[in-house]
């Protein structure tokens, strides 16, 4: 960690840390995640199209333990998170 050289730098660092803390406590955007596991010979298009129709977005696919794992995410609406609407 670099040494801070002035009161201004310390104040700026403290300000940024406070902004991060507030963002982490009440983020503007929230996501949920889902993992679809499919055997190596199975076709996933139908399931992926169905999930895509429900707002899921494919973010990664990996092969593990003899199957494919499709990692999906979708953004939660404010109603899903219990956030107050203005």
**pLDDT digits 0-9 by tens, 9-63:** 999 999 999 998 988 888 888 999 999 999 988 999 999 999 999 999 999 999 9
Give tens-digit pLDDT for 71-83.
999 999 877 766 5
Tell which residue, 83, 3, 85, 54, has the closest CA to residue 72: 54
The pLDDT assigned to 86 comes to: 37
Could you tell me the CA-to-CA distances from 79 to 20, 38, 51 in Å, in that order? 23, 31, 20
Report pLDDT for 33.
97
Distance CA 66, CA 38 (A): 9
Name the DSSP letter for residue 56.
Answer: -
Q: How confident is the model at residue 2 (pLDDT cuts 50, 70, 90)?
A: low
- Residue 41 and residue 24: Cα distance in Å, rounded? 41
pLDDT for 49 equals 97
């Amino acid at each position: 960690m670099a040494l801070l050289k002035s009161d201004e730098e310390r104040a700026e660092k403290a300000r940024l840390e406070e902004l991060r803390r507030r963002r982490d406590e009440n983020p503007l955007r929230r996501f949920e995640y889902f993992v679809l596991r499919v055997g190596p010979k199975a076709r996933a298009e139908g399931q992926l199209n169905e999930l895509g129709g429900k707002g899921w977005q494919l973010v990664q696919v990996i092969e593990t333990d003899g199957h494919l794992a499709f990692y999906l995410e979708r953004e939660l609406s404010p109603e899903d998170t219990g956030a107050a609407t203005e």
